Amino acid sequence: MDRLTAEERIRVLREQIEKHNRLYFIEDRPEITDQEYDMLMRELQDLENLFPDMVTPDSPTQRVGGEPLPFFEKVEHKTPMLSLGNAFNEADLRDFDRRVRQIVGNQPVRYVCELKIDGLAVSLHYENGVFVKGATRGDGQTGEDITQNLRTIRSIPLRLTRPLTLEVRGEAYMPKRAFEKLNKEREERGEALFANPRNSAAGSLRQLDPKIAASRSLDTYIYGIGDLQGETVESHSEGLNLLESLGFKVNPERRVFDSIDDVIEFTNSWTEKRPQLPYEIDGIVIKVDSYAQQQELGFTAKSPRWAIAYKFPAEEAVTILEGIEVSVGRTGAVTPTALLKPVSLAGTTVKRASLHNEDIIREKGLLIGDHVVVKKAGDIIPEIVAVLPERRTGSEVPFQMPTHCPECGSELVRIEEEVALRCINPMCPALIREGIIHFVSRQAMNIEGLGEKLVAQLYHEGIIHSVADLYYLHQQREVLLQMERMGEKSVDNLLAAIEASKENSVERLLFGLGIRLVGAKAAKVLAEHFGHLDAIMQASEEELTRIDEIGPKMAASIVNYFALPQAQAVVERLKAAGVNMTYKGVRIEGGEDLPFAGKTIVLTGTLASMSRQEAEEKIARLGGKVTGSVSKKTDLVIAGEKAGSKLEKAEKLGVAVMDEAGFLQMLNERSTP
């Protein structure tokens, strides 16, 4: 066959195969037999073998999985993949509806209800209609590039029906039948079984060998648009229809409602019907349909105000409390954990449940040997909800909290106004070990490959004694190579991840240090305000409490921490190792000279020239703070098109209002030398 004829035949075969993929995997109405499909695929493979330069990333033959990867690259999400707030009952849903209507005022509100697939959230990127990249959600800001594994999922189109450039979000999952088949095969091979379809889907997509992912029969449902170029949609439901027309698999069980009563009825109906589905769901996602209203509602630090996840009532089971063990966390808090007779609950085997503190044990009246009722809060965290004293036989015994630290033997103390017992020995092995585990975690320095077990091993063997020692591990490469499960590639990847973490913005380091009461958000506020770790270390309690988000207790905790010689020594070693100490985000410069310095600003309506996120960033650069609702404390409202209740409220309260043209003029004046 000559080259031109082969090129045309390859084009036709690809179109036919993608059409039949769509009919079979998305629309569930196949038109040809499996044998006929296999013949088309074989012919395409033969032609591509003859003309290898004609193989393209969107060819159906590229779904089988390529060569194993050495590690997963990091992917920064252009728009954060935020988690959703949860609702557990009708009252929570009505409260969500009340908050929405409070902000949007008298505008009619429509809600889109979708089944919440219990899988792994993924982001898919397309350029001119061709699939180019796929990533996990990760921590919401940064995920992992799993493009090769996602290519193996037949319901993900490699080429769209139109050449659009966009990013979409969806859920990758393992159907129940595929999960049962996989576990049966593993059982026959004597391998450990997967606990549930969600874990097996996540594990499959995080395999470095794409051929393993290809063998797992994964599927997807796409539920949203992260970014779209060259086309406009006005609502979430319209966006879902667009995605369907482009060839994505969108869940058909979605519904649009005008009232919260209909939403509640929908959630109740699926509470009963969910076992009938061929895949697992753990709730219903409810979203405000209008994109303009979504923009008006905005976001909290963790989740959108325009969406909520209704979680089905937790499954409960009765088991026996066989014992209670205590562990010491990075802050020294001693936490009891219930050891349970293994019981199946919500698709997993539960052996442990958190008891939080001694007071919980006392309040519940727990005795070792009791029959207890266990549930999974939000289908995730096991907890003991009730004791069954009527089943006692007299052999049950009370539990006594230890008086001394189980790790270092120091006397435990109860700090005033706290319920937790604490070990206050700064040299306690548990505090140091757990502190290092926190330091390398995702929200902190995010060092890939440094899990709890490896940190514990490194500490136990005396290779590391503090977080600073991590940055000198390259000097002990030969020692690392002698450790269990640490080959050349593993050690090189670990050292590369440690080296890369040196470039993190300083808020990650600050959070990673584990200063009591300083969470990730407070760390960012401090980093943005001071710009450098040295300035934070030198700040007084008075200087710290001048910052809105920093209270007296947190300020005292920060000052006390950096007064410790051990903390100062760790920071100096981190500096010497080349760890970044500066804030790399947008920092407000110019202080009181900025036009919005110290002002509280509310955005309402739609801006034609920029997105809401861009507007918020520009306001921050000008010294302003954006809030979601208008009050007497609001200094200015910036109103775009279709401004609603917020504009009306501003006019009633006499709050100053600026239109988009005025805002743009201010931005231009500021940027003009």
436 & 460 share domain = yes
Nearest to 571 by CA among 456, 467, 452, 453: 467
436 & 320 share domain = no
Q: Which amino acid is at 451?
A: G
Per-residue confidence at 28, pLDDT binned at 50, 70, 90?
low
Q: If you search the block for the tokens 């509100």, which residue do you land on?
A: 109
What was the pLDDT predicted at 381?
Answer: 67
In contact, 426 and 514? CB cutoff 8 Å: no
Supply 475's token pair.
Answer: 């000097």
Pick the most confident of 18-32, 147-161, 636-650: 147-161
111 & 217 share domain = yes
What CATH number did the domain enclosing 662 receive?
Answer: 3.40.50.10190
What CATH number did the domain enclosing 282 receive?
Answer: 3.30.470.30
What was the pLDDT predicted at 140?
Answer: 82
233 & 140 share domain = yes
* Interatomic CA distance for residues 600 and 619, integer angstroms: 10
Residue 17 belongs to what domain range?
Answer: 3-55
Please state, as a whole number, how many other Cβ atoms lie within 10 Å of the Cβ of residue 482. 9
For residue 367, what are the CA distances in angstroms to 320, 338, 390, 394? 10, 11, 13, 10
* Interatomic CA distance for residues 207 and 204, integer angstroms: 5
What was the pLDDT predicted at 560?
Answer: 92
In contact, 175 and 279? CB cutoff 8 Å: yes
Per-residue confidence at 390, pLDDT binned at 50, 70, 90?
very high
129 & 172 share domain = yes
420 & 434 share domain = no
Instruction: Mark whether 116 is an active-site residue.
Output: yes
169 & 123 share domain = yes
Supply 400's token pair.
Answer: 């006594």
In contact, 164 and 92? CB cutoff 8 Å: no
DSSP-based three-state secondary structure for 305: coil
Active-site annotation holder among 19, 74, 78, 116: 116
In contact, 328 and 430? CB cutoff 8 Å: yes
358 & 284 share domain = no
Domain assignment present for 98: no
Helix (H) or strand (E) holding 345: strand 334-345
What pTM value is reported for the model?
0.55
Supply 186's token pair.
Answer: 């593993």
Nearest to 525 by CA among 553, 506, 501: 506
For residue 371, what are the CA distances in angstroms to 324, 332, 352, 389? 14, 31, 14, 7
Q: Which residue has the higher pLDDT, 631 or 503?
A: 503
Domain boundary among 383, 399, 424: 424
491 & 516 share domain = no
Q: Is the pLDDT of residue 337 over 90?
A: yes
612 contact partners, CB below 8 Å, separation of at least 6: 295, 298, 603
Domain assignment present for 32: yes
Helix (H) or strand (E) holding 653: helix 645-653
Per-residue confidence at 673, pLDDT binned at 50, 70, 90?
very low
What was the pLDDT predicted at 439?
Answer: 95
Rounded to 5°, the CA angle 470-475-481 comes to 90
What was the pLDDT predicted at 74?
Answer: 85
Return the HEC string of 175-223: CHHHHHHHHHHHHHCCCCCCCCHHHHHHHHHCCCCHHHHHCCCCEEEEE
What CATH number did the domain enclosing 571 receive?
Answer: 1.10.150.20
Domain assignment present for 391: yes
* Interatomic CA distance for residues 485 and 490, integer angstroms: 8
Domain assignment present for 582: no
Domain boundary among 268, 289, 306: 306
- Count of structural domains, the chain: 6
Domain assignment present for 75: no
Domain assignment present for 604: yes
In contact, 84 and 36? CB cutoff 8 Å: no
Q: If you search the block for the tokens 């999952």, which residue do you land on?
A: 173
Domain assignment present for 62: no
The β-bridge partners of 532 are 582
What CATH number did the domain enclosing 401 receive?
Answer: 2.40.50.140
What was the pLDDT predicted at 586?
Answer: 54
Domain assignment present for 28: yes
What was the pLDDT predicted at 203?
Answer: 82
* Interatomic CA distance for residues 291 and 234, integer angstroms: 6
Phi, psi of 203 (to 5 degrees): -65, -35
* Interatomic CA distance for residues 603 and 636, integer angstroms: 9
Domain boundary among 396, 424, 452: 424
339 & 393 share domain = yes
Helix locations, 381-532, DSSP H: 429-439, 452-460, 477-481, 488-501, 506-512, 520-530
pLDDT digits (tens, 9 = 90+) for 246-290: 999 999 999 999 999 999 999 999 988 888 899 999 899 999 999
411 & 328 share domain = yes
Distance of CA 13 to the CA centre of its chain: 39
Q: Is 501 exposed, middle or buried (0-12, 13-18, 19+ CB in 10 A)?
A: buried
What was the pLDDT predicted at 408?
Answer: 93
DSSP character at residue 26: I
Supply 262's token pair.
Answer: 């209909």
pLDDT digits (tens, 9 = 90+) for 597-648: 778 888 888 888 887 767 877 887 777 777 777 888 888 999 988 787 888 8
Report, as an integer, the average pLDDT of 39-43. Answer: 85
539 & 652 share domain = no
Nearest to 6 by CA among 38, 51, 39, 42: 51
